[in-house]
Chains A and B, each alone.
Chain A
Amino acid sequence: MLLQLQNIFKWVNSGGQRIFLLKDINLKVKEGEFISIMGPSGSGKSTFLNVIGMLDGFDEGSYDFLDESVHQLKEKHRAKLYKEYIGFVFQQYHLLDDLTVQENLEMPLLYKKLKGAERKAMVADMLDRFNIVGKKDLFPAQLSGGQQQLVGIARALISSPKLLLADEPTGNLNSKQGEEIMELFKQLNEEGVTIIQVTHSEKNAAYGKRIINLLDGRMI
């Protein structure tokens, strides 16, 4: 069991009323799964993903990640946990504009306090694997959207996470680029990476082995 969410509630108070963002979510994810989360705008997909990724908290319920109770952890511990096991891919890529491709890839390794030589080797490995060696000294602004997302995924994978969380990874890409990214996900999943993605597209959702539908914060 990779992670387990039980009776998760999340809400905000607005004008004396409680508005639920997530309502009674229960989910078990085993290692090696590929899950697609679908739902209309505002159904809580991204919130759900952020809760799984520990970027966001929740108000009620319990969340166990690799047998650790996330809801009882302090921020520092949580950060350690997701640094170790989780990689993020964003719709807007979120590369650091001031760093080159190579430096962007290196960043997570810096936070893991790896040695220089080790970092170099791993970055070179990734560049090689994603066929972007020629672009290593370019800045994000000099790349196309698809290439940027490729770098984004490479950055998410460089620290070999057990779980890859992707929030509309193809949302800003054209269909051909989108397809390439999804093929890459499929391939990664076959190599053993657990993937949870949020998507609007039926077609992309179909790459997942399991599809979760959300509506107004509830799983249906």
Chain B
Amino acid sequence: MIKNYLKIAWRNLIKNKAYTVINVGGLALGMAVTLIIGLWLLDELTYNSYFSQRHRMAQLFQSQTFNGNIGTGPAMPRPLEKALRDGYMDNFEYLIMSSWTNDLYLKYGENSISRPGNYMQREASDYLELEILKGEKDGLREINSIMLSESTAKALFGQEEPIGKVVTASNQYDLMVTAVYKDLPYSNSFKDTDYLIPWDNYVNNNQWVKNAEDNWGNNSFQMFVLLADNVGMEQVTNTIRNVKKDLNEDTAEFNPQLFLLPMEDWYLRSNFENGKQVGGRIKYVWLFGVIGIFVLLLACINFMNLSTARSEKRAKEVGIRKSIGSQRNQLINQFLSESFLVVLFAFLMAVFIVVLTLSGFNELARKEIEFPWSSGKFWLISLGFVLFTSLLAGSYPALYLSSFKPVDVLKGTFQSGKYSGLPRKILVVVQFTVSVAFIIGTVIVMQQINYAKNRPVGYDKEGLIQVPTFSQDFSGKTDLMRSEFLNSGAIVEMSTSSSPTTRIWSNRSGFNWEGKPEGFQEDLAWTEVSPEYAKSLNLKIVEGRDFSREFASDSTAVLINQTAKKYLGVENPVGMLLMDDDTEDPNPPLKIIGVVEDMIAQSPYEPVKQAMYVFDRFDNFSYYNMRLNPNQSAGQNIAIIERVFKEHFPEIPFQYDFVDAEYAEKFAAEERVGTLSGVFTALAILISCLGLFGLTSFVAEQRTKEIGVRKVLGATVFNVWNMLSKDFLKLVIISCFIAVPIAYYVMNGWLQEYPYRVILKWWIFALAMLGALGITMLTVSFQAIKAARSNPIKSLRTE
């Protein structure tokens, strides 16, 4: 029986080639989109699945309250380690202190490279489930040891045996390679950890880390834990919540609340607002999940519409089969197996499309997704997916077609009733509602990105590079290097800073000033800079003056930005002193000498943070900021800079970033969403139009006789076109009016997340509607005009 069904289905497909192409092609396209999104979702949702213990792995976070605002982050003070080890260790199997993931210069012989990695405590090797390729598992036992990832070892040693060799880190201290581990997979929170060095080494080699041992206020470290078998996340969180607050009076005023963030939440749900977990990337998972389902729905609607539109053709078959003894459920089975065949066909095509486009998609989405050929689970899910889709697409035609009465259709008097087209119309409305909403959504996302991109950054980011200087070697040589670079002609100005231009790495509090309100808990961005900072960035001084080398007193001077002026609440900040509120051993007061324009160093969607730019007395800088010579090409400039750099620091690899490129990175996530949703919108519209195209051709075919009669009676091509197009345009207009409020509601909600956001204008909606109408007209007109131009004699004779 099935064989008979499939045979008929197959011959039907072959016979109606145009129909088949539209149907299978549209469905394949829709399925391909859904498949790709599915693979993407899988990749997102299985992030960190490398760790078999992930259900028990967590990172410590704390929420602190400043002036009523709750800030949440993973930065921990060092004394907390001792407190937890002393009193709470029965909750943890492992508790591991770690530095942030930092770039480090590694040198072996002539070979020097820069790689990111962490300083972590000894159990890290176990905790991270490192797969040791060479050397020993317990590689962090000795203080002067280093474990390297396979790729790093290869870059450093080539074919040489790495174990037992000594590498120099930051040109300062020697480390012996104790192990080489397999690189961690890319969808992993520790994917950038290319080396591990013992935590104690970090403490010994960095005075500030050593000093932080008893400082509850210095939140500069990470803490990872593996829970003991018998406890739960929440239970432990409840136990340790107030440990810091209870043990330290000084920071208690900020009400520090400790909690564990389970590893499962690190990647997808790591955003906090006012102390509450508010999601994060998970919103994109939802967004694309919904898009995937909608695109598939659109393709299924095409299938339903085209199948039912062709019903007149199939009606006879239904009549014959029924009169021969087929029961309704047998016909339903027949039509369902037909749709199964089509869907299976479409699925194979979709797989083909996905294989062809996956690498392009990976590039767009910054993923390394591979097609899971060998995964049985994938094929099983796919089979379910095919069955589901064939049910979704085939159920309506199956129920509709099988309901025909044999007498009606066999007498030849069969006519679809007045309302038989209604479900089809509703489906078209659904399709175009989704498409129009997609158009509006994409336009608004793009607008928001452009809006933020066009926001003045406050400095000149073009022709500006930054060179990392993470080594003690650079200390005391700033002036020398500046004049060397200036003399080389490659740059017009250079400064140093303790954070990159596009980031804020440090925040400070604990100041006193005249007129400070009672109980005000200040929090300012803190960047240490050399005197030419503003000059090299083309940062405008709006009040007071810039740093000057002529005034020795400028070593305790500070520039603040406009937001900071408002924040501090003083009318004339220039000349004001910011005193250290530590009365026992105070730092010298800082004198405000000028106000600079606000520059965006953090999110371009947020207000600029109050910031201070402090004279760098102790060479705490991490970057050279260089304004390139505009009269030469960037390439020439950089070649010269590299040569000069190598002359002075032959041991250190030369690296640089263009600040404008770094800044553009801030838009990467939104731009990816924008591009992807643009692509998916285009596909959604294409699929909808394919369906409309097919539908128009069937309607035109159905009304051939009517068109013939009308033409004989004197109708013009325009009259006929009008008659055929009107119905569809009406549907699309209805869709627009449904889509606009929905899109408005959703996009307005999305924009609320961005304090700096575009204002929704009515013309965006009007434009989307016009666009949809235009596309519909084009699609429908092609068929309508073709039908209208045909010779009426021919169509009438065939009756």
- Would you call B552 an interface residue if the criterion is a C-beta within 8 Å of the partner chain's C-beta atoms? no
Evaluate whether A111 and B12 lie within 8 angstroms (CB atoms) in the complex, with A56-B407, A94-B319 already known: no
Cβ of A111 and Cβ of B324 under 8 Å apart?
Answer: yes
Q: Mark B426-448, 1 if CB is under 8 A from A, else 0.
A: 00000000000000000000000
Q: Mark B317-334, 1 if CB is under 8 A from A, else 0.
A: 101111111111010000
CB distance from B406 to the nearest CB of A (A): 5
**27 pairs, CB–CB < 8 Å, chain A vs chain B:** A55-B406, A55-B410, A76-B327, A82-B325, A83-B324, A83-B325, A88-B323, A88-B324, A90-B410, A94-B316, A94-B319, A94-B320, A94-B410, A96-B8, A96-B321, A98-B7, A98-B11, A98-B15, A103-B4, A108-B324, A108-B325, A110-B1, A111-B321, A111-B325, A111-B330, A155-B324, A159-B325
Q: Does B755 contact A (CB under 8 A)?
A: no
Cβ of A75 within 8 Å of any chain B Cβ, yes or no, is yes
A67-104, CB < 8 A from B: 75-76, 79, 82-83, 88, 90, 92, 94-96, 98-99, 103
A44-71 interface mask toward B, CB cutoff 8 Å, 1 = contact, 0 = none? 0010001001011000000000000000
Chain A's closest residue to B313 (CB) is A97
Mark out the residues of chain B between 326 and 346 whose CB falls within 8 Å of any chain A CB in the assembled complex. 326-328, 330
| Cβ-neighbour of A112 out of B323, B325, B407 (below 8 A) | B325
Question: Could you tell me the distance between the alpha carbons of A98 and B6 in the complex, rounded to whole angstroms?
Answer: 11
Residues of B within 8 A of A96 (CB): 8, 317, 320-321
- Check if B377 is an interface residue, CB within 8 A of chain A: no
Check A173 for interface membership: any CB of B closer than 8 A: no
Please name all residues of chain A whose beta carbon is closer than 8 Å to the beta carbon of B11 when the two chains form the complex.
98-99
| Besides the known contacts A99-B7, A107-B324, A155-B324, 20 further A-B residue pairs in the complex with CB atoms under 8 A apart | A50-B407, A55-B322, A55-B323, A55-B407, A76-B327, A79-B325, A83-B324, A92-B410, A94-B316, A94-B319, A94-B320, A94-B323, A95-B320, A96-B321, A99-B11, A103-B4, A108-B324, A110-B4, A112-B325, A113-B1
Nearest chain B CB to A43's CB is how many angstroms away?
15
A152 vs chain B, min Cβ distance (A) = 10
B320 touches A98 (CB 8 A): no
Chain A CB within 8 A of B411 CB: yes
Residues of B within 8 A of A90 (CB): 410
Closest Cβ of chain A to B320, distance in Å, is: 5
With a cutoff of 8 Å between Cβ atoms, the chain A residues found around residue B406 in the complex are 55
Residue-by-residue, is B388-417 near A (CB-CB < 8 Å gives 1, otherwise 0)? 000000000000000001110011100000
> Does the CB pair A107–B321 fall under 8 Å?
yes
Contact partner of B4 (CB less than 8 A), chosen from A83, A92, A107, is A107
Bound complex: CA A107 to CA B326 (Å): 9
Complex Cα gap A36–B393 (Å): 47
Q: Binding site of B, secondary structure by majority: helix, strand, loop or mixed?
A: helix
For the complex, what is the distance from the CA of A70 to the CA of B321, rounded to whole Å?
Answer: 20
Q: How far is the CA of A190 from the CA of B411 in the complex (A)?
A: 30
In the assembled complex, which residues on chain A have CB atoms less than 8 Å from the CB atom of B324?
Answer: 83, 88, 107-108, 111, 155
Q: What's the minimum C-beta distance from B327 to chain A, rounded to whole angstroms?
A: 5
A101 to chain B, nearest CB (A): 14
B266 to chain A, nearest CB (A): 58
| Chain B nearest CB, measured from A160 CB (Å) | 13
A140 shortest CB reach to chain B, Å = 11
Specify which of B7, B326, B405, B411 is in contact with A46 (CB 8 Å cutoff). Answer: B411
| A-chain residues with CB within 8 Å of residue B8 when the two chains form the complex | 96, 98-99
Q: How many angstroms from the CA of A46 to the CA of B405 in the assembled complex?
A: 15
B 351-402 contacts with A by CB, 8 A = none
Look across to chain A and name the residue whose beta carbon is closest to the beta carbon of B330.
A111
Please, which residues of chain B bring their CB within 8 A of the CB of A95? 320
Which residue of chain A has its CB nearest to the CB of B320?
A94
Given the complex of chains A and B, what is the CA–CA distance between A53 and B322 in angstroms? Answer: 12
A103 to B411, CA, bound (A): 24
Contacts of B4 in A (CB 8 A): 103, 106-107, 110
**How far apart sit A90 and B406, CA to CA, in the bound complex (Å)?**
12
Q: Chain B's nearest CB lies how many Å from the CB of A132?
A: 18
Residue from B15, B321, B323, B406 with most neighbouring chain A CB atoms (10 Å): B323
Q: Are A92 and B412 neighbours in the complex by a CB distance under 8 Å?
A: yes
- Encode A146-165 as 1/0 by CB contact (under 8 A) with B: 00000000010001000000
Cα distance A106–B322 when bound, in Å?
Answer: 15
Task: Kindly list chain B residues whose C-beta atoms are within 8 Å of the C-beta of A107.
Answer: 4, 321, 324
- Chain B residues closer than 8 Å to A56, beta-carbon distance: 407
CB neighbours of A79 from chain B (8 A): 322, 325-327
Cβ of A113: which chain B residues have Cβ within 8 Å of it? 1
CA distance A99 to B1 in the complex (A): 13
Whether the pair B12, A98 counts as a contact (CB closer than 8 A) is: yes
9 nearest CB pairs, A to B: A83-B325, A98-B11, A111-B325, A56-B407, A94-B320, A108-B324, A55-B407, A88-B323, A79-B327
Which residues of B1-56 have CB atoms within 8 Å of chain A's CB atoms? 1, 4, 7-8, 11-12, 15
Residues of B within 8 A of A83 (CB): 324-325
Q: Complex Cα distance A108/B322, Å?
A: 10
Bound together, the chains give a CA A37 to CA B405 distance in angstroms of 23
Please report the C-alpha to C-alpha distance between residue A116 and residue B407 in the assembled complex, in whole angstroms. 30
Taking CB as reference atom, which chain B residue is nearest A88? B323
Measured between beta carbons, the chain B residues less than 8 angstroms from A112 are 325
Nearest residue (CB) in B for A161 is: B325
Contacts of B7 in A (CB 8 A): 98-99, 103
Check B410 against A75 for contact (C-beta < 8 Å): no
CB distance from A40 to the nearest CB of B (A): 17
Minimum CB distance partner of B329 in chain A: A76
Contact partners of B412 in chain A: CB under 8 A? 92
Chain A: minimal CB distance from B164 (Å): 75
Contacts of B323 in A (CB 8 A): 53, 55, 88, 94
For B322, the chain A residues whose CB sits under 8 A away are 55, 79
Task: Chain A residues near B411: list those with CB within 8 A.
Answer: 46
- Give the distance in Å from the alpha carbon of A97 to the alpha carbon of B7 in the complex: 12
Cβ-closest chain A residue relative to B15: A98
Kindly report which residue of chain A lies nearest to residue B317, judged by CB atoms: A96
| Distance (whole angstroms) from the CB of B267 to the closest CB of chain A | 53
**Bound form: Cα–Cα A106–B410 in Å:** 20
Q: Give bound CA distance, A110 to B11, whole Å.
A: 18
- Chain A residues with CB under 8 Å of B12's CB are 98
Query: Closest residue to B5 on the A side, CB-wise?
Result: A110
Contact partners of A99 in chain B: CB under 8 A: 7-8, 11
Q: Which residue of B lies closest to A82 (CB)?
A: B325
CB distance from A109 to the nearest CB of B (A): 10
Report Cα–Cα, A155/B405, bound state, in Å: 21
Within 8 A of B (CB), among A95-149: 95-96, 98-99, 103, 106-108, 110-113
Docked pose: A159 CA to B326 CA in angstroms? 13
A86 → B minimal CB distance (Å): 9
How many whole Å from A168's CB to the nearest CB in chain B? 12
A96 vs B320: C-alpha distance when bound (angstroms): 8
Q: What is the CA–CA distance of A99 and B330 in the complex, to the nearest angstrom?
A: 18
